[in-house]
């Protein structure tokens, strides 16, 4: 089992480049299933989840050629194996994103029901309900979703909960359905706009992506295209929080400040000086951070994927903060690990009350999920002494070469077997 060892107390300085967004790249790779022609995706991040998705798509009959520079060309000319097995789905829930495209293109799919994960039950009932409204016949047997649809037809679907991958799955399915589909109370995340732009380049007719009403007019087929993955707004936010917590000054390239307004507002409130223009963001922090309250909600509000990182920042800020997690029912597990580092946090239901203290103590801690791992890295960067983080495979699912990028910013961090 690999571990990260961090010596805390070093302010971050320097410049790094942000990678392509994991949560945009995953649905974009699945979009290749919608056509028999080649789809070329650029700026694909080198992450474990991406590798898993590519092997799943290959197993289904997609040919995949990947260059070292994050360019992936996929061609699903013939889908030979319409199954997404448990072994793969259990390690990467985003595999559910092959369901909509498979039904639209091949008329059938057999996908292991994604189990829960550390942060919550993560049901996919809204994905299934939407596809049934579009004419799919779906049964769940022995932990697998068995879906058949001779030809999907358009439908008006109202999500009673805002779901990111639910919106993406149904948007992809609707591109080849007969007639028009309207998705209401749709998710508005930037990754959905990125996916819609790629689908439109493939010939899809989509309006309203990025708003809560998306209209898709089905077409008989889609053709190949080329698309570049948008920057990762959560990786961007994670490095900005790290620099705010350690103090210092960092410059992020190949990113976009407009993707994370709610996060930048909170960092400014904590005392950071932020400048940005086009594809870069500069952050300066030379004072002790002020405590900031955080309440997660669907985009464009404060993202749940940045909640754990702000928990670490608030541990050493001036004042007391309330952090409320409204999206997932169990996304406060980093609290126990931060308390091992002497953090002063009390949990009341889905809220954590964080009282800032002078410093955290380095300690042995354990990652429990992707963004909790990021919060422990930030805690290690600001703690006094050495922090050892175990189970960092969680981290590798969502951050490309995090210790390399942090070392480039001056952090004392290394990976050991
Ligand atoms: C996406 O997950 C992201 N993953 C998550 O990022 C992110 O935290 C989440 O959106 C919220 O922004 C990808 O895009 C691959 P949801 P998703 O469906 O789509 C409930 C990370 O760290 N719900 O928007 O699975 C659900 O339980 C990951 O990069 C249903 O009840 O999240 C949750 O409470 C973690 N039924 C809420 O909706 C459904 O059918 C939002 O979930 C679907 C969802």
Give the pLDDT score at 117.
80
Give the pLDDT score at 115.
74
**What value does the mean pLDDT take over residues 204-223?**
98
Give the pLDDT score at 300.
98
Give the pLDDT score at 222.
98
Q: Would you call 270 helix, strand, or coil by DSSP? A: coil
C-alpha atoms less than 13 angstroms from C-alpha of 54 in its C-beta half-sphere: 20
Q: Which of 99, 130, 327 to mutate to test the pocket of ligand 1 (most atoms within 8 A of CB)?
A: 327
> 179 C-alpha vs ligand 1 centroid, how far in Å?
28
Ligand 1: residue whose CA is nearest its atom 14: 23
Ligand 1: residue whose CA is nearest its atom 4: 23
Atom of ligand 1 lying closest to residue 127 CA: 40
117 is catalytic: yes
Closest CA to 234 of 224, 226, 242: 242
**What value does the mean pLDDT take over residues 36-49?**
97
pLDDT bin (cut points 50, 70, 90) of residue 414 is very high
Regarding the beta carbon of 159 and ligand 1, being less than 6 Å apart is answered no
Atom of ligand 1 lying closest to residue 49 CA: 15
Give the pLDDT score at 118.
83
Question: Mean pLDDT score of the chain, rounded to an integer?
Answer: 97
> 22 C-alpha vs ligand 1 centroid, how far in Å?
13
Give the pLDDT score at 243.
98
Q: pLDDT tens digit string along 216-229?
A: 999 999 999 999 99
> 93 C-alpha vs ligand 1 centroid, how far in Å?
10
Q: pLDDT tens digit string along 257-294?
A: 999 999 999 999 999 999 999 999 999 999 999 999 99
Ligand 1: residue whose CA is nearest its atom 39: 124
Give the pLDDT score at 297.
98
> 24 C-alpha vs ligand 1 centroid, how far in Å?
13
Q: Are 231 and 302 in contact (CB under 8 A)?
A: no
Of the listed ranges 113-127, 352-366, 386-400, the least confidently predicted one is 113-127
> 14 C-alpha vs ligand 1 centroid, how far in Å?
33
Q: Above 90 in pLDDT, residue 1? A: no
Closest CA to 194 of 29, 16, 70, 64: 29
Ligand 1: residue whose CA is nearest its atom 26: 122
Using the structure block, give the residue that is written with the tokens 């068995």.
146
Closest CA to 4 of 409, 377, 411: 377
**What value does the mean pLDDT take over residues 197-213?**
98
Give the pLDDT score at 225.
98
Give the pLDDT score at 325.
98
Query: Which spans in 134-283 are helix H?
Result: 164-174, 190-201, 233-246, 261-269
Give the pLDDT score at 235.
98
Q: Which of 45, 116, 123, 165 to mutate to test the pocket of ligand 1 (most atoms within 8 A of CB)?
A: 165
Give the pLDDT score at 168.
98
Give the pLDDT score at 91.
86
Give the pLDDT score at 179.
98
Atom of ligand 1 lying closest to residue 23 CA: 14
Q: Above 80 in pLDDT, residue 116? A: no
pLDDT bin (cut points 50, 70, 90) of residue 121 is confident
Residue 245 has a CB neighbour count (10 Å cut-off) of 27
Give the rounded percent of residues in the chain with a pLDDT score beyond 90.
94
Q: pLDDT tens digit string along 138-158?
A: 999 999 999 999 999 999 999
Regarding the beta carbon of 398 and ligand 1, being less than 6 Å apart is answered yes
Helices (H) and strands (E) in the chain, counts: 14, 24
Give the pLDDT score at 68.
79
Regarding the beta carbon of 126 and ligand 1, being less than 6 Å apart is answered yes
CA distance 413 to 10: 10
**What value does the mean pLDDT take over residues 105-132?**
92
Q: Assess whether the previous peptide bond of 300 is cis (omega < 30° from 0).
A: yes
Q: Above 90 in pLDDT, residue 358? A: yes
**pTM of the predicted model, to two decimals?**
0.98
Q: Above 90 in pLDDT, residue 11? A: yes
Q: Which of 30, 117, 198, 315 is catalytic?
A: 117
């Amino acid at each position: 089992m690999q571990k990260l060892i961090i010596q805390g107390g070093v302010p971050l300085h320097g410049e790094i480049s942000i990678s392509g967004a994991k949560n945009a790249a995953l649905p974009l790779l699945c979009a290749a299933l919608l056509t028999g022609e080649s789809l070329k995706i650029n700026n694909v991040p080198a992450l474990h989840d991406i590798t898993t998705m590519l092997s799943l798509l290959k197993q289904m009959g997609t040919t995949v050629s990947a260059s070292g520079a994050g360019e992936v060309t996929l061609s699903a000319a013939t889908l030979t194996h319409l199954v997404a097995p448990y072994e793969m789905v259990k390690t990467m829930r985003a595999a559910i994103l092959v369901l909509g495209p498979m039904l639209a293109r091949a008329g059938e799919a057999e996908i292991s029901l994604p189990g829960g994960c550390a942060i919550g039950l993560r049901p996919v009932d809204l994905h299934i309900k939407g596809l049934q409204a579009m004419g799919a016949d779906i049964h769940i047997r022995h932990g697998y979703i068995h879906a058949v649809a001779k030809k999907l037809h358009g439908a008006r679907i109202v999500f009673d909960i805002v779901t990111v991958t639910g919106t993406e799955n149904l948007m992809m399915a609707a591109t080849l359905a007969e007639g028009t589909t309207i998705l209401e109370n749709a998710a508005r995340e930037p990754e959905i706009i990125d996916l819609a732009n790629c689908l439109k380049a493939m010939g899809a007719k989509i309006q309203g992506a990025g708003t809560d009403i998306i209209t898709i007019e089905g077409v008989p087929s889609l053709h190949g295209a080329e698309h570049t993955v948008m920057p990762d707004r959560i990786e961007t936010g994670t490095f900005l929080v790290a620099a705010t917590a350690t103090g210092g000054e960092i410059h992020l390239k190949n990113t976009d400040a407009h993707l994370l307004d709610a996060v930048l507002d909170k960092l400014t409130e904590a005392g950071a000086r932020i400048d940005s223009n086009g594809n870069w963001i500069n952050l300066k922090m030379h004072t002790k951070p002020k405590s900031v309250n955080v309440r997660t909600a669907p985009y464009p509000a404060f993202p749940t994927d940045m909640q754990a990182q702000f928990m670490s920042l608030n541990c050493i800020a001036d004042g007391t903060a309330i952090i409320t997690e409204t999206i997932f029912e169990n996304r406060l597990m980093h609290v126990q690990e931060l308390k091992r580092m002497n953090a002063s946090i009390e949990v009341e239901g889905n809220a954590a009350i964080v009282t800032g203290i002078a410093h955290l103590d380095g300690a042995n801690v354990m990652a429990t999920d992707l963004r909790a791992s990021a919060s422990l890295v930030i805690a290690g960067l600001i703690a006094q002494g050495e922090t050892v983080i175990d189970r960092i495979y969680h981290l590798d699912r969502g951050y490309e070469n995090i210790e390399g990028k942090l070392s480039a910013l001056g952090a004392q961090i290394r990976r050991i077997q």
